[in-house]
Amino acid sequence: MGYQQIADQKLNALRNGTPTILAIESSCDETAAAVVRGRTVLSSVISTQIEIHKRFGGVVPEIASRNHLAAIDAVVRDALRQANLEKTDLDAVAVTYGAGLLGALLVGVSYAKAYAYALGLPLIAVDHIKGHVAANYIAHPDLQPPYLCLITSGGHTEIRRVDAFDRMEVLGSTRDDAVGEAFDKVARVLGLSYPGGPAIERLATEGAPTYPMPVAFKGEKHLDFSYSGIKTAVINLAANAKARGEEIRRADLARSFQDAAVSMLVGRAAEAVRRTGIRTVALAGGVGANSALRDALSEAGKRQGFAVLLPPKPLCTDNAAMIGVAAFEEIRAGATAASLSLDANPDL
């Protein structure tokens, strides 16, 4: 019997149980591994590259890939050690196969395929964005569909209607920059260090929203987002001030940008609640760690009578625990084991 048949048989036996899953995440600049049992996290280890990429003002894909190669084996071993488990205690291996940086993804996918094959375990391929959605199941184990999910990551900004883990509908998405991408670009304009989101959040606490920001899609009826106009407004304000020999009030500009960025996210989420009648909104993605967004969404929920679910901030940023729980949900939904020909898909 070949590997694929063995993997499929083992996966079928896991569908109604609570499997112990080793999860690997390497889509960008975090090398992460975790062990989960159902929706319970037994261990979560993250090796961050922030200090490495800070000198370049952003993630350098080749450098990220090389550092994943150097870190991944130790990170996986540490995750097993913290969970107090051996490799033989595992039921499945999960890995992010997209979206993300191609070289970075390939490190995790290649390692996970070899690990699963060597142990004869089923391999579960996980969509990184569905992983962010699944972070809410860790913080709220009793969460059940239907609910809305506001996804706010570096590469994606969406509102999804979740009727089941394998049945999600995108109600609105960005037409240009993602919100996390806009934060990073504005941070560079303001001379702030990478990563841009936390730097802008810190600076904005010292400022007031005194700079006017454009409103995208004013009067239009869809739920899509656009951050290109807000980003360009900041760039133009900074450039014009420099040309006139004036000094930009950086804290005020950071606050003005952040307020506009958050307002669009919260406004679209509240409108999605009104249109669908679904009264629960879950937050997901790296920008979900932004305190201004968390506060504004919670306030909107109180005013309009819908529940807001906020994962702990460490679960908003990239981690392997969310990938493991996403794999558990995929198994329950009937996903098949990935083959050993699984490839990374940066544009997933």
Q: Binding site for Fe cation: residue ranges?
A: 128, 132, 318
Say if CB 197 and CB 224 are below 8 A apart. Answer: no
Task: Please compute, for residue 23, the number of CA atoms within 13 A of its CA located in the half-sphere on the CB side.
Answer: 36
Of residues 61, 71, 90, 59, the one with CA closest to residue 32: 71
Say if CB 17 and CB 48 are below 8 A apart. Answer: no
Residues sharing a CB contact under 8 Å with residue 70, sequence separation 6 or more, in sequence order: none
The token pair at 184 is 């990073």
Surface-to-core class of residue 343, CB atoms within 10 Å of its CB (0-12 exposed, 13-18 middle, 19+ buried): middle
CA–CA gap between residue 328 and residue 122 (Å, rounded): 12
CA–CA gap between residue 150 and residue 124 (Å, rounded): 25
Name the binding residues for substrate: 151-155, 184, 197, 201, 290
CA–CA gap between residue 279 and residue 293 (Å, rounded): 18
Total length of the chain:
348
The token pair at 248 is 């930009």
Residue 117 C-alpha from the chain's centroid: 28
Neighbours of 4 (CB within 10 A): 16
Name the binding residues: 128, 132, 151-155, 184, 197, 201, 290, 318
- First and final C-alpha spacing in the chain: 32
The token pair at 35 is 């062990």
The token pair at 177 is 């920059």
Residue type, 14: L
Say if CB 320 and CB 131 are below 8 A apart. Answer: no
Find out whether the peptide bond into 146 is cis, omega within 30 degrees of 0. Answer: yes
* 3-state SS, residue 40: strand
